[in-house]
Amino acid sequence: MSARPSQLPRWIEIGLLPILNVLLALMVAGLILWTIGADPFDAIVILVKGAFGSGYAWGYTLYYATSFIFTGLAVAVAFHAGLFNIGGEGQAVLGGLGAGAMALAFDDILPAPVLVPLAILASAVFGAAWAIVPAYLQAYRGSHIVITTIMFNFLASSLMVFLLVDVFRDPGQMSTQSRTFTEAATLPEMATVFSWVGIKIPSTPLNLSLVWALICCVLVTVFIWRSRLGYEIRATGLSPRAAIYAGIKPAHVTLIAMAISGALAGSVGVNEILGVQHRLLLEFVAGAGFTGIAVALMGRNHPFGIVLASILFGALYQGGAEIAFEIPTITREMIITIQGLIILFSGALAYMNRPWVERLYLRLTASPVTEAPVHG
């Protein structure tokens, strides 16, 4: 998937146009809220205050945003190769399985400085391995990656149920979850990290995986725009035929791009399993794999845009919960509707505002025509 050729500067492409799309989505959402008797302006105030009004609110917003950064980057890397990876949900499940299995196996043996990096590596390897199979089927057997990645989401969910029921379930418990990890296999909260330097912030689920997510943003930027392999991925995504003419092997690129994409999606397990839950359990991904598609679309497949879009969706999650608590007429389903409108305007209708914005920009920046002197 590639963006259309542009005469617009980057600040309009990745800044102004997404903001206009979000404002339109909020206007439509406001109309819906008004029809059910709720005050849209009150709802927006509660949403903004609930998402950014305190250190506690910021902690939860950034905690949600961390998972969206991982899945947004995963979708973006596949997009650059011309691949539509809808399997982020399943790859995140396998990433959590890898991190959890490593923690359960060695949390009584290895110290945290050794075990935590190994668990992070395991989450990436498991996510990559789960993405490699659909990539191979597309590259060498002609299967469509959209279909196979969707099916692999269901397979990952079923596999996790089987393992938690028959392998990892804590003996003596009926709930489908493993035992709690020891402290050696947990990522510290950001509140704990800040307390090491004497700064007090509220205790929230926000943990050190946010730092890992930002490092991944830098690594993806360098890889996609500053490396030879990244150039091959972008060339294949823009024109597979031209890539072949240049000596690039699209099948090879497909495998590499999907492996990196799966590794990034698998890192959701770092945030959830190592950072918050501290045990292996079901449904910890909570739709982050699918939200990553909207995040990548809104962020124009660039890590900087993905960080901003992730914070927006994190704010919608956190602020939406506050709205549902404060205004009884607005249910959780209504919040999901608002999120769906933003996905609609940022994805399917992403270029709806582009024509008039482009005309306005060209008119404002056009050079004045000077009349030629008349010689008589």
| Angle value at C-alpha 12, between 9 and 14, nearest 5 degrees | 100
Positive or negative: CA dihedral 150, 151, 154, 156? negative
- For the chain, the farthest-separated pair of C-alpha atoms sits apart, in whole angstroms, at 105
Q: Which helix (H) or strand (E) holds 134?
A: helix 112-141
Report the pLDDT value the prediction gives residue 1, as an integer from 0 to 100.
46
Report the pLDDT value the prediction gives residue 376, as an integer from 0 to 100.
45
- Burial (Cβ within 10 Å: 0-12, 13-18, ≥19) of residue 208: buried
Render the burial of 339-374: b for 16+ CB within 10 Å, e for the rest: bebbbbbbeeebeebbeebbeeeeeeeeeeeeeeee
Q: What is the C-alpha separation between 216 and 303, in angstroms, rounded? A: 9
Q: Map residue 365 onto helix, strand or coil.
A: helix
Contact 343, 336 (CB under 8 A): no
With a CB cutoff of 8 Å and minimum separation 6, the contacts of 217 are 69, 73, 303, 304, 306, 307
DSSP 37: T
- At 168, the amino acid letter reads F
pTM of full prediction above 0.85? yes
- Burial (Cβ within 10 Å: 0-12, 13-18, ≥19) of residue 116: buried
Backbone angles phi, psi at 367, to 5 degrees: -75, 140
| Angle value at C-alpha 95, between 93 and 97, nearest 5 degrees | 70
With a CB cutoff of 8 Å and minimum separation 6, the contacts of 340 are none
Distance set, CA 223 to CA 65, 82, 216, 217, 252 (Å): 22, 16, 10, 10, 16
Report the pLDDT value the prediction gives residue 375, as an integer from 0 to 100.
56
DSSP 177: B
pLDDT tens-place values along the chain, 376 residues long: 444 555 678 778 777 888 888 888 888 888 888 888 878 888 888 888 888 988 999 999 999 999 999 999 999 999 999 999 999 999 999 999 999 999 999 999 999 999 999 999 999 999 999 999 999 999 998 888 999 999 999 999 999 999 998 888 877 777 888 999 999 999 999 999 999 988 898 899 999 999 999 999 999 999 999 999 999 999 999 988 898 998 899 999 999 999 999 999 999 999 999 999 999 998 899 888 888 988 898 888 899 989 988 998 899 888 888 887 888 777 777 777 877 787 787 766 777 878 888 888 888 877 665 555 555 4
Report the pLDDT value the prediction gives residue 360, as an integer from 0 to 100.
86
With a CB cutoff of 8 Å and minimum separation 6, the contacts of 341 are 25, 28, 29
Render the burial of 268-294: b for 16+ CB within 10 Å, e for the rest: bbbbbbbbbbbbbbeebbeebbbbbbb
Termini Cα distance of the chain? 59
Instruction: Please choose, from the candidates 75, 89, 95, 100, the residue with its C-alpha nearest in 3D space to the C-alpha of residue 155.
Output: 89
Q: What is the C-alpha separation between 43 and 354, in angstroms, rounded? A: 29
- At 276, the amino acid letter reads V
Instruction: Please choose, from the candidates 149, 163, 162, 164, the residue with its C-alpha nearest in 3D space to the C-alpha of residue 90.
Output: 149
Q: Which helix (H) or strand (E) holds 94?
A: helix 88-106
Contact 291, 68 (CB under 8 A): yes
DSSP 16: I
Positive or negative: CA dihedral 164, 167, 168, 172? positive
Contact 297, 346 (CB under 8 A): yes
